[in-house]
Chains A and B, each alone.
Chain A
Amino acid sequence: MVRILVSLNVPILLVLSILINPKICMGEGILNQVDISGNLKLDKRFLVTDSVWIADYPYHEFNLKLKSNPSRNLSLYSSLKLRLWDQNLASSSADLTRISSSYPYELSLWEAYADLYSFISDKLDLRIGKQRIAWGTADKLNPTDNLNPDDFSDPLNFGEKVPTEAVNATYYITDEYNLGAIWLPSFKAILLPRGKFPLFSDATTPPLPQGTNLTESADHITFPDRKVENFIYAAKFSGTIMGANFSLSYFEGYDDIPIANRLVVTPIDTLGNVRLDTYLGFPKLHTVGIDCAGELYSIGFWGEAAVFLPEEVKMEIVMPNPVDPLNPIIQDTTILSDELYVKFTLGGDYTFKNGIYINAQWMHGFFNERGKDNLKDYCLARVEKKFKNDELKLALTGVLEIKDIEAIKENYGTAIIPEVSYAPADNVKLSLGAFFLDGKPGTLFDTWKEQDQIYLKTEVCF
């Protein structure tokens, strides 16, 4: 097994070596064939509540991408990602001696993989290494896309994923049909936003006994053991029927969003102050997915559904016993049932003769929702119009969240996102936009309504 894991890391090490010193690794001749590209993304957000604040979770990003094709059947790719936050982490004068206190940053080998084309057979392609495996036909809202963990570093740019180590084999039965098999040796969890962003509206706090006061809290995460039985597998069959593309997929792995399975409330003094310790784990997950995309009367359509077969998660709550302090009260409750549930997205798009583009999607179950009774519906519509040979684009996105369609008047949320983007030159794009979020109590957008903001983004490619 060690040998397999080492072999999996070989391309990562190889690509990393190219990044560090391409001359030594590849020689001058091949160096000339290394294709270097990248981009710089600057992102500034202003929260507009009772006054204007600078949001602390967005980040600037610098991506450096290297690609090389040493031979006809081999391609190497890697990308380095540098994220830079505008957060002030300095709390003493000593911190002011470090630039990272004012501009905390993170550097990541974001992707690093080798493509082996026509591996063993002419019909087999293999991709080994840290990679993004994008599944699904819907527009960003993909319930079948569960191989890479969610990247909620920027929660308003939902649908982003973090590449993970994998062996990804695709066998092309014909030009039309192919079968994919994927193995992920280790599990990776969701990336959460920095700063204050209420990503999960259902944060778990048990009802505390009367007279107690929560003053301290901490959480503890347990990951699945790095053992053979916890490897992640997936398979997908794709093809075309009657002019429409479809795929059937299966995934066996873990939910990338942790769930609380134990809460411990401990008294910390005699004044009634208590501490809450939350223990989190990742439930096992199986999904069966189906997606399709095609065209009907000139209207593009897509549909994607995933049947989730979760493992039951019970939560143990340990509370202080005011009568017998040595014997705490222990309660067990089911927090996630093993009942299957279905998430789906249906959508379509059309471009009118005057160039106005409209894209509409209906999504059942947001990224962070799980469990049959906890899924909400979201209706999204986006209208776009380009001007000046695509240099200027106006877009308006509207989202209606429906928590309970039978009592919609008290159970809805809204998001309105206008945006103007302008490309004054090749490789440069400026965007000015806003998020306006609101919702009735209990909706996702209600928890996000303090996040109304105006943003200014710049992207430069090279």
Chain B
Amino acid sequence: MKKLMRIGVALFLPIILWGGTGDVILKKAEDAMNASKDRTATMKLTLIDKDGDSKVREIKMWQLGKEKRLIKFLSPADVKGVGFLVLSDNEMYLYMPAFKKIRRIASHVKNESFMGTDFSYNDIGKCQYTKDFTAEIKEETEEEYALELTPRPKSDVDYAKLIMCVDKAHYLPSKVEYYNKKGTREKIMKNENIEKIDGYWIPREVTMKHLKTEHKTVMELVNVVHDTGLEESMFSKRMLKRAK
């Protein structure tokens, strides 16, 4: 009997640990992405089509903890002043200055393109993966883990799975591949030029590429500061209209 138990443990423990380790790595990656208490950054988004033609958008982003984000468009003129507030995965608001109104973003919009970029509202708004995904290690090299992320039941995710490469040096994802419900690889996100700023590792450049349209968006972090003491009240509908 004891022998049988030993065999059982020998067979299943690695599987349990393997699965559990994937979630642990994902948690570490998430913590690394949101290590600072708060972050303020100016970002340059370059939208590049398959012919190489490009358009540039500039945004300013404030982030508090893992969940709260406030984004304001600085340019071009036709989207200047547009604001985007994320209070949680389920509560996002858009402010359109032309209409002087704040509109709540329903979940059917969250997987749509964020203001013409290759990022969706969810990609821009979500700072957490563990809420929506469970992770398994598919591959491990000296430099990184390759995790397969599967949506948790009832999670509001439009992908069948994600393949995430996590760099062992700082636990930031170096690459994320997005697979649609048909199982086709749809988008690839790459975090590049990873640097330590104010003691936190962050990617200076994030590229999201749409494989079908060959359109990509390169997001460069121009000015980044951490732990400036942003207050909770900054992340409110009151400030969504006001922030600049």
> Which A residues contact B (CB, under 8 angstroms)?
37, 39, 69, 75, 115, 117, 125, 132-134, 170, 172, 175, 178, 243, 245, 293-295, 298-300, 349-353, 355, 386, 388-391, 425-427, 429, 459, 461-462
Contacts and interface: CB of A to CB of B under 8 A. Distances in A.
Interface in B54-109: 55-56, 76-78, 80, 90-91, 99-101, 103-104, 106-109
Contact of A355 (B80, B112, B233, B237): B112
Contacts of A170: 238
Q: Is the interface of B mostly helix, strand, loop or mixed?
A: loop
Nearest to A140: B99
Count chain B CB atoms within 10 A of each CB in A294, A298, A352 and give the residue with the most: A298
Given A351-B108, A351-B112, A461 B78 contact: yes
A178 B241 CA distance: 14
Q: Is the interface of A mostly helix, strand, loop or mixed?
A: strand
Contacts of A349: 106, 108
B99 A134 contact: yes
Contacts of B99: 134
Given A243-B90, A351-B112, A389-B47, A293 B80 contact: no
A300 B77 contact: no
Nearest to A386: B113
Contacts of B237: 175
B236 to A, nearest CB: 4
A355 B112 CA distance: 7
A185 B115 CA distance: 39
A82 to B, nearest CB: 18
B244 interface: yes
Interface of B: 47, 49, 55-56, 76-78, 80, 90-91, 99-101, 103-104, 106-109, 112-113, 115-116, 118, 158, 181, 213, 215, 232-233, 236-238, 242, 244
13 contacts: A39-B77, A175-B232, A243-B91, A293-B103, A298-B108, A300-B106, A300-B108, A349-B108, A355-B112, A390-B116, A427-B78, A429-B78, A461-B77
A304 B116 CA distance: 30
Nearest to B98: A39
B93 to A, nearest CB: 9
B98 to A, nearest CB: 9
A459 B79 CA distance: 13
A69 B244 CA distance: 10
B107 A175 contact: no
A125 B238 CA distance: 9
